[in-house]
Amino acid sequence: LAAIAPITKPLKIDHCVPKSSDHLIRSFDAHISPNPVKKGAPLKIFASAEMEKVFKSGTYILEITAFGFPVLNQTDDICRDSTGFIPTLGPVTISGLKCPVAIHHKAEVVTTITVPSQLVDGVNIRVKIYVENQDKEPVMCEDTAFET
């Protein structure tokens, strides 16, 4: 069995939705679990927002870089769960929104990625997810990076 080794630096999520979208969401919350990240264990990035406009449908763009290079760029329907695969890192799962989301209700997106226990130290990994509604208005954006 591979040991689960912690990555010692706590991670932060940058909320990257433009100020022009402030009228679309009442509150935004994001967190990472576990924090700090542990090699060999699933990393979950949670983002939620309370909607100020009905969210009927939308899309997400998921960008992941590792080793300084793009390893996944995926666009899909945010109102369903989906999975991508990165040869060096494995599966990446998006737990989508439960659409429609009514005004003043909370919507949550969860991105799950497992940092392989055998991954060498010093690899920079960046995970960014951007969500827009049916009118192509940005409502969520989370951007985090860490080094193994």
Convert the pLDDT of each residue in 69-80 to its tens digit.
999 999 999 999
* Mean pLDDT, the chain, integer: 87
| Reported confidence tier of residue 8, pLDDT bands at 50, 70, 90 | low
Q: For 86-127, what is each residue's pLDDT tens digit?
A: 887 889 999 999 999 999 999 999 999 988 888 788 888 899
Q: Once rounded to an integer, what is the mean pLDDT over residues 6-15?
A: 67
28 versus 139: the higher-pLDDT residue is 139
Query: 78 in helix, strand or coil?
Result: coil
pTM metric for this prediction: 0.86
pLDDT of residue 19: 84
14-38 in b/e form (b: 16+ CB < 10 A) is eeebeeebeebbeebebebeebebb
Sheet architecture: strand order including 25-33:
25-33, 42-51, 106-114, 90-95, 82-86
In the block, residue with structure tokens 């990165």? 86
> Measured between alpha carbons, how far is 17 from 48 in angstroms, rounded to an integer?
12
